[in-house]
Amino acid sequence: MANAEDSAAVHARMAQHLAITAAARNAVITGNLDEANAQGKLLRHLPLDGLPQNWQDRLSNLSSAARDLEAAPNIAMAGLAVGEIGQTCSACHLATSGGPKIDGSGIPPQTWTTDSHMPQHLWASEWMWLGMLANNDEAFLRGAKTLSDEPLMQVAPTRPEWFAETEAEVHRIAKEMQAASDLPAREALYGALLAQCGTCHMRLETDGATPR
């Protein structure tokens, strides 16, 4: 059984993981490949000193996923690597009865409004991520359903011609997420979703369009 010192070290490490993976996820969403690579490097090089041996063994899989993120050559590959990290974390949490705790009844209601598309997207992606980490179906599906039914966004001054295809692909991925019941499938779809987000944001910036 782990002693108090081991437990404190594990809790501190999990807090680091949560912060780094959140930064990596947001970097992919915004299309910042350099930052995503940097977060992968940071995650891979976290020291194992002070952690119990059985936790050090479990973290070897996470280090491999972090290496993929660090070496990702483009946003699409970085998105898939973040999804892989989520699967690794989720599998470990399931095996150890760990991870964030969610009271499903406490998931807040959200109303989709035409002037808050981007905050809604972030809200949905965060609930799917938390659902993966906590192995909580309700949280994951709540986020997936939000993205599957609503228009992605308004774009000022106009929607680019290519945007309809991107919107259709995001809706397709979100619907597949609702049907996916196993962790590897959810991980791959989540990574593909992040890649769509990052690619879309980069293209909008190139076109001089502003999402809202």
Instruction: Give the mean pLDDT per block of 10 residues along the chain (212 residues).
Output: 61 87 93 96 86 75 92 94 92 83 56 67 85 88 81 66 84 92 89 90 80 62
Q: What is the pLDDT of residue 134?
A: 87
From 87, 83, 139, select the one nearest 108 (Cα to Cα): 139
Q: What is the pLDDT of residue 150?
A: 66
Angle at 74 between CA 68 and CA 78, to 5 degrees: 40
Kindly report the pTM of this predicted structure.
Answer: 0.83
pLDDT of residue 99: 80
Residue 11 tokens read as 């809790």
Residue-level pLDDT at 3 = 53
Contact by Cβ (8 Å): 24, 36: yes
pLDDT score, position 6: 61
CB-CB contact of 36 with 69 (8 Å) = yes
Q: Is 180 left (phi over 0), alpha (psi -120 to 50) or beta?
A: beta
Residue type, 153: M
The H or E element containing residue 210 is strand 210-211
d(C-alpha 74, C-alpha 196), whole Å:
12
Query: What pLDDT, on a 0 to 100 scale, did the predictor assign at position 39?
Result: 97
Q: How far apart are the C-alpha atoms of 113 and 117, rounded to whole Å?
A: 7
CA distance 192 to 173: 8
